[in-house]
Structure 1
């Protein structure tokens, strides 16, 4: 999977979600409490606590889910580069809130012990991102494997399928809820696609300085086609700058002192 420039260049909101998922997943994983992190009928309709709601939004319920989920979140940062961090933050909050609401309604309607508790993690955001991925990301390469016609997008779909089926019905409900949230966003429900946060709120993402946030592409401008810029182009630019510096230095050596 490739989402354009490596790192989180022009994607501070995506970086914040990935880091938050890792910070919540790893400590709870070491304590062996993966199974207790998700929403269930009992803790939603009887005694829902704030910490359980937070962990259900960020902490993945197993190490494989953390690996696949973080990889998909990293790939989908391409949408933040296309629409900007402000609108992408609205997309994150909308898809997460709608997905959680749909999960709560599903728990109350189904009352099925086999889905209690639901698997935890940012499933709403991940599977909501598959909606613009399906409609807006074109296929750039096609190939055949064992007689099957595949494309470069197939690997992203396979990773999502693995995540969707990782915990059986417990992970299917959050995944489907995320897809429905993504469809509601695309249909511009309540005019959500026109909403933007005030600049001082949106700038909070860029003010968060993570240790790995600095990269050699930090100075590149933000464009709608940012995801299509390749690292090879960046390398060519750096090489041209180096040759120019060498040429200038040699020219100074050849110039006699007055």
Structure 2
């Protein structure tokens, strides 16, 4: 799948989460405490180590897991671009908390006081993201290798499988919990897909991102309206129509954002024209067209 705009364009929540995971993982890695991470029955029901619950959300327990996990988190920024940062913030919080709850319940059922049953890291968010990735992100390219058919999405699934099996049972358990959390989100349990954070909270993530140029659509439209000639006649109407059409020409970064989701470039451009350069609305148009 085309990677689209480089970096964290329109993905401030993903950027914040990756920064947090990197800092936590490097900090404990430098201290040589990778082996002490992870959740056990004793941590939760014995000494009640709340700090381990927090660490388990962000810090990976090995360098290979860190590299694979950060790659998948970075790739899944396409989902944030699709639904918007505000709703993606809700998805992130819901996935992390629900998957953590499932992990605690699983540890309580297994009751092994000696072993770390769950490896640490944002497995909940990563594997929850695989559910909307499977359901909502279309395939853009297909290849055939040694007689086997692959798509651009196949390589993401292989990366997820490698991460899922990285610590065997310790990583499989949080992976399954993440998939359950993502399924609950897509099933709209508790109407979570309609939830939104207040704008002042979601804007905190945007401040982490580098400044980006906003769309000049609204200002351009106001200028056009203000400059319309008051004289009657078809020439003025034609000039106004031409100017409007020019102002609605999609921006390249908006087209690239939709292409990064797997949509055809020409279809993406037409959807943006129809949606008046609103990326979220154009995404809905394209998804509805595919559904039919």
Deviations 1:81-125 (A, max 9, x none): 111111000000000000000000000112247962411000000
Give the conservation status (yes or no) of the 8 Å contact 2:5–2:256: no
Give the conservation status (yes or no) of the 8 Å contact 2:13–2:89: yes
> Mind listing any 5+ residue stretches in structure 1 that lack a counterpart?
234-258
The number of residue pairs the alignment matches comes to 225
Structure 2 vs 1, CA of residues 168 and 114 (structure 1 numbering), >3 Å: closer, same or farther?
farther
Q: CA deviation at 1:138?
A: 1.1
2:213 counterpart residue number: 219
The reply on whether 1:164 has 2:195 as its aligned counterpart is no
Distance 1:181 1:94 in 2: 8
Structure 2 vs 1, CA of residues 157 and 133 (structure 1 numbering), >3 Å: closer, same or farther?
same
1:228 counterpart residue number: 259
Structure 2 vs 1, CA of residues 40 and 229 (structure 1 numbering), >3 Å: closer, same or farther?
closer
The secondary structure found in structure 2 opposite 1:17 is: helix
2:98 counterpart residue number: 98
Give the conservation status (yes or no) of the 8 Å contact 1:12–1:205: yes
Structure 2 vs 1, CA of residues 60 and 114 (structure 1 numbering), >3 Å: closer, same or farther?
same
Higher relative contact order (CA 8 A, sep 6+): 1
TM-score normalised to the size of structure 2? 0.72
Q: Which moved more, 1:218-227 or 1:95-104?
A: 218-227
The secondary structure found in structure 1 opposite 2:39 is: coil
> Mind listing any 5+ residue stretches in structure 2 that lack a counterpart?
216-252, 266-292
Which runs of structure 1 show a deviation greater than 3 angstroms over 4 or more consecutive aligned residues? Answer: 112-115, 220-225
Describe how 1:138-149 pairs up with structure 2 within 5 A. Answer: 138-149=138-149
TM-score normalised to the size of structure 1? 0.82
Q: CA deviation at 1:219?
A: 2.1
Distance 1:81 1:57 in 2: 23
Distance 1:15 1:115 in 2: 33
1:65 counterpart residue number: 65
Deviations 1:183-219 (A, max 9, x none): 000000000000001111111111225xxx36xxx32
Structure 2 vs 1, CA of residues 229 and 159 (structure 1 numbering), >3 Å: closer, same or farther?
closer
Structure 2 vs 1, CA of residues 60 and 224 (structure 1 numbering), >3 Å: closer, same or farther?
farther
1:247 counterpart residue number: none
1:79 counterpart residue number: 79
Give the conservation status (yes or no) of the 8 Å contact 2:95–2:125: yes
The secondary structure found in structure 2 opposite 1:150 is: strand
Give the conservation status (yes or no) of the 8 Å contact 2:126–2:178: yes
The reply on whether 1:178 has 2:217 as its aligned counterpart is no
